[in-house]
């Protein structure tokens, strides 16, 4: 997971600048295309392609009541690293530390998927448990209009982030083609 954590931190910084949701980051990447709500990136080294999107809506609740919370970048990713035989790797950064040992749920078209959260410095990230689960989740994204991701912060706040899947299939095909 430490390799995923290092890669994830670089992805978040690069995408934050590329999408325009943050002003400072020093990552070598290039935003190469935008497909509706999804952006395609190709960092120069190591060879990798990924797509990313910020949420279209976010709600935080504590004790059942809607609350205002301060969060960092919130992004959903799908990555390709052909040199490592990785394709369709789904990851999510919450913009806050997750509750230790918690999971994240993803709902798409009435299907529910579970993502595992990181530990230590990586607990701002969630990944699926396997490449097979990545493939199932990506297939659901391709057939859906939106995805809702629910997580719990280390402070006990439950967040629900809604991501548009408009442009997902085009962005996914674009990134896969660039990394073939």
Model confidence pLDDT, tens digit, residues 27-74: 456 899 999 999 999 976 567 899 999 999 999 999 999 999 999 999
- pTM > 0.75: yes or no: yes
Instruction: Provide the 10 A C-beta neighbour count for residue 46.
Output: 9
Task: Find the mean pLDDT for residues 141-156.
Answer: 96
Count the domains in the chain: 1
Q: What is the CATH number of the domain that holds 75?
A: 2.60.40.1880
Calpha distance 19→102 (Å, rounded): 28
Q: In this model, does residue 22 exceed pLDDT 50?
A: no
Range of the domain at 32: 2-178
């Amino acid at each position: 997971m430490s390799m995923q954590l290092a890669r994830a931190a670089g992805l978040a910084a690069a995408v934050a600048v590329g999408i325009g949701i943050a002003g400072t980051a020093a990552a070598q990447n290039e935003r190469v295309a935008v497909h509706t709500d999804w952006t395609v990136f190709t960092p120069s080294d190591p060879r990798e392609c990924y797509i990313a999107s910020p949420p279209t809506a976010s709600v935080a609740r504590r004790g059942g009541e809607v609350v205002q919370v301060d969060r960092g970048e919130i992004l959903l990713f799908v990555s390709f690293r052909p040199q490592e035989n990785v394709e369709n790797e789904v990851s999510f950064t919450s913009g806050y530390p997750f509750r230790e040992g918690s999971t994240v749920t993803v709902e798409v078209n009435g299907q529910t998927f579970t993502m595992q959260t990181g530990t230590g410095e990586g607990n701002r990230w969630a990944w699926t448990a396997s490449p097979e689960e990545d493939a199932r989740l990506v297939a659901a994204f391709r057939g859906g209009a939106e995805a809702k991701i629910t997580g719990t912060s280390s402070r006990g706040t439950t967040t629900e982030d809604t991501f548009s899947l408009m442009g997902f299939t085009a962005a996914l095909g674009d990134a896969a083609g660039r990394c073939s």
